[in-house]
Copies of this chain bind each other. A is one copy, B any other.
């Protein structure tokens, strides 16, 4: 579909209000049961960096902010890093309610069975074949391998809470 058709689609405001000019889609928040497992998955498997942690001891939860950027881009000054990570797109916020990791029966809902809503997050990679082979080597769980189903150009892996992470390659 052409850009003209997209801009004239029902509901679409083609010329955004100037007031929205510097708006940034900053982050997506997911609740996770076991923060150590989630940090391992997002940093070791997917290459995210932990760029901020905020604790709320009274309410017994902590927030973890992760960015998938070149390490050299991350400001070392704490205040500067705080402002930076609130001003860029592509941040992942993980919420950990303390203690959930000790409850064997506790599980979050990944949105893909009833009641449905949120579907997945997606990581774009330069070489999807190589990325999927590496995920296999690392023992990552797949929801859909490249060879499964009709769409051979996308895969879905699962994070420790079974949230789906789509894997795509821009020019594939």
Chain B hits for A44, CB < 8 A? 13, 16-17
B47 and A3 contact, CB distance less than 8 A: no
Partner of A170, one of B40, B86, B120: B86
Residues of A33-81 contacting chain B, CB below 8 A: 35-40, 43-53, 67-68, 70-71, 74, 76, 78, 81
> How far apart sit A67 and B70, CA to CA, in the bound complex (Å)?
22
Chain B hits for A92, CB < 8 A? 25
Number of copies: 2
Contacts A24-B90, A28-B28, A47-B16: A74 and B3 contacting too (C-beta < 8 A)?
yes
B29 and A11 contact, CB distance less than 8 A: no
Contacts A31-B116, A109-B117, A124-B24: A43 and B134 contacting too (C-beta < 8 A)?
no
A111 and B119 contact, CB distance less than 8 A: no
A87 and B124 contact, CB distance less than 8 A: yes
Chain B hits for A111, CB < 8 A? 109, 111, 117-118
A30 and B170 contact, CB distance less than 8 A: no
